[in-house]
Amino acid sequence: MLPEKFQETEIGLIPEDWETGNINDVSTVKGRIGWRGYTKNDLSLSGPLVLGATQISKNNEIDLSKPVFISREKYEESPEIKLNKHDILIVKVGNTIGKVAIIREEIGEATLNPNCVVLKNVKIDNYFLFYFLLTKQAQHYLINASAASAQPAINQKDIKLMTLPIPPLDQQKKISFILSSLDQKIQLNNHMNHTLEEISQAVFRYWFVHFEFPDENGQPYKSSGGDMVDSELGEIPVGWSVKKLKDTCNITMGQSPKSEFYNEECEGLPFHQGVTNFRERFPKDKIYCTLENKIAGYGDILFSVRAPVGRINIAKSKMVIGRGLSAIRHKKDFQSFLLYQLKNIFTEEDSIGSGTVFNAITRKDLDDLNVIVPNEELDKQFNEFVSPMEKQIENLVLENDNLTKIRDSLLPKLMFGKIVVNVPEEANGK
């Protein structure tokens, strides 16, 4: 449904019954005061959390998978930036400048990293303000404001002066309800995928790292006295072997075409030459290439061969790969086994499980990588076990991509009143 009348404002056309205001009118903007900054000596192994750019995910969510803690003294020193549920964070410096997140859940005691500011005491719907900050207009404002500094940084004064549309409160709540519902479904799918991946990873390690796969009696092999033999990689079960990766897989090293073949208009095939657009499992297609040179097929493992080495994604379609990637396919099509085997070998960023760190690896390095080769029947059993979970993960990622497109399409229309959507009354109580 379209509103009947619009008014012209400095941020464009908005419905006649909406108002405009500045961020400073609707919230309190706070940052860490310079002399209250902290050093590594102020960090601790436990205690209050510190939230900054590294705790904001690509999906604009708070990510505490790698928590950082600060001393009690430093936490109490700045009460004005103690963080609470529904506070909004904006990254003001660094390579993710302008990135935004809202604290959706209670996270306990937490404070602010110097690279962010926080919007507190919000007088309008918190989620409406959060989603406004994700619009192209708001993001362009933040990026342009940072460009005015000698060293890119957003001044708190500029944030305070940002203009935003202010609909009646009931409409704010309805808009944020619609967008939050989509985000909650995306988060739910992400949690499910994380659980499915953990199950597959746990089974892989139990069978192929600890060698506790079911023996002929259905008992854990190694702890039930299964015979072991020495190998280049340590003890392995009798009947298993160690081979070079080139003997078990087909490996394609990427090669970057000239930039004249690149485009963003979806002409040709998706093109990836590094980890810039890698996600949890499948890369996000942004650049396309009309020259089909080095190709990865559907389901191939995309493996980064330049720093950061060892990052892994999966090709969700046929694509062109550049010099920063290789495409790897198991010769017997045991792709699920290969995926978790490579993840287990490259356990840390830029390093192999042995701790060897690489800035780059060559074709020869990959070819000569030693891998354990179980008996074929066990490989089949593992692939049959995890394949339904792998397919479910793929389906949920596809669903999330579609939900994200819907949300991103609705965002500017809802935030500037171009469409009005009726939602259940419960939205007003969100």
Residue-wise pLDDT for 342-351, tens only, equals 999 987 444 4
pLDDT band per the 50, 70, 90 thresholds, residue 95: confident
Whole-number Å distance between alpha carbons of 387 and 381: 10
Mean pLDDT of 397-416: 97
Domains annotated on the chain, with CATH: 19-166 (3.90.220.20), 241-373 (3.90.220.20)
DSSP 8-class letter at 285: P
- 204-225: per-residue pLDDT in tens? 999 999 999 999 999 999 999 9
Q: How many CB atoms lie within 10 A of CB 211?
A: 19
Least confident of 2-6, 19-23, 183-187, 375-379: 2-6
| pLDDT tier for residue 354 given thresholds of 50, 70 and 90 | very low
Determine how many CB atoms are found less than 10 A away from the CB of residue 16.
11
What residue spans of 209-273 are helical by DSSP H? 245-248
pLDDT band at 430 (very low <50, low <70, confident <90, very high): low
The band of 159, judged by pLDDT with boundaries at 50, 70 and 90, is: very high
284 compared with 150, residue with greater pLDDT: 284
Query: Tell me: the pLDDT tens digits for 117-149?
Result: 999 999 999 999 999 999 999 999 999 998 876
| Cα 245 from Cα 25, distance rounded (Å) | 61
Query: Identity (one letter) of the amino acid at 7?
Result: Q
pLDDT tens-digit profile of 29-49? 999 987 677 888 899 999 999
CA distance 375 to 388: 22
Give φ, ψ of 96 to 5 degrees.
Answer: -115, 30
Query: How do residues 256-276 score in pLDDT, each as one tens digit?
Result: 999 999 999 999 999 999 999
Q: Is residue 428 over pLDDT 60?
A: no
**How far apart, in whole angstroms, are the C-alpha atoms of residue 289 and residue 274?**
14
- How far, in Å, CA of 212 to CA of 423, rounded? 53
What burial letters (b/e) apply to 271-288, b meaning 16+ CB within 10 Å?
bbbbbebbeebbbebebb
Overall pTM surpassing 0.85 (yes/no): yes
Per-residue pLDDT tens digits for 283-313 = 999 999 999 999 999 999 999 999 889 999 9
Residues 6 or more apart from 360 whose CB is under 8 A from it?
305, 306, 307, 309
Q: What is the pLDDT of residue 349?
A: 46
Q: Please check the confidence at residue 406 and state whether its pLDDT lies above 90.
A: yes
> What mean pLDDT is reported for the chain?
93
